[in-house]
Chain A
């Protein structure tokens, strides 16, 4: 089955700096990669996603890159703000065999943005 590794587990930055979170996946049949932001006690919220036919996607201060050959994808947040502080999860959607339709999450990154 799919295995998603996420690094770092914690990330502390100053307001205005950039933050980068990296993930690797194992299943070459995975073809959809969302990123979720989760605040304490709340549900995960989709912030950006990328499909395997695209190498990069950007939405205002957030961007995601995907390297299918290397099986890794990254989240980039520029001009960070204190309200960006949360736990971020990467995920990969499997399309192969018995794992079809299964979304596997990375371990999560606790991002803290200091004012």
Chain B
């Protein structure tokens, strides 16, 4: 059973057209992450939430925003996607202590 669910699996958007990616979890984990992964590269952390405490990476572009309205859901908003934002976006969750991340299947974003 899927525990971290990302929708949609594939998203196509136009250059400059806002897009929202969604993530939900059934694990009741208090930490949620958004990673960006480009081809042949490691996942790059964009943000993470510890409960409602939001942590933004210093090099995450202002074009990227995130919302976590409750424990189960987290959203990634890209206000004006550029061609360089085409990537796989991975959501992950983690429970308390030194526990592993649980990844969703990712959303592959294409910008035309």
Binding site for A on B (CB under 8 A): 31, 33, 40-45, 48, 50, 55, 90, 92, 94, 98-101, 103-106
Contacts and interface: CB of A to CB of B under 8 A. Distances in A.
Contact of A107 (B31, B42, B94, B98): B42
21 contacts: A31-B98, A32-B98, A32-B99, A43-B90, A43-B105, A44-B90, A46-B100, A46-B101, A52-B98, A100-B50, A101-B31, A101-B50, A101-B55, A101-B94, A102-B48, A103-B92, A105-B43, A106-B42, A107-B41, A108-B40, A108-B42
A76 to B, nearest CB: 19
Nearest to A95: B98
B55 A98 contact: yes
Nearest to A108: B42
A98 B44 CA distance: 17
A72 to B, nearest CB: 17
Contacts of B50: 100-101
A108 B41 contact: yes
Query: Which of A43, A51, A104, A105 counts the most B-chain CB atoms under 10 A from its CB?
Result: A43
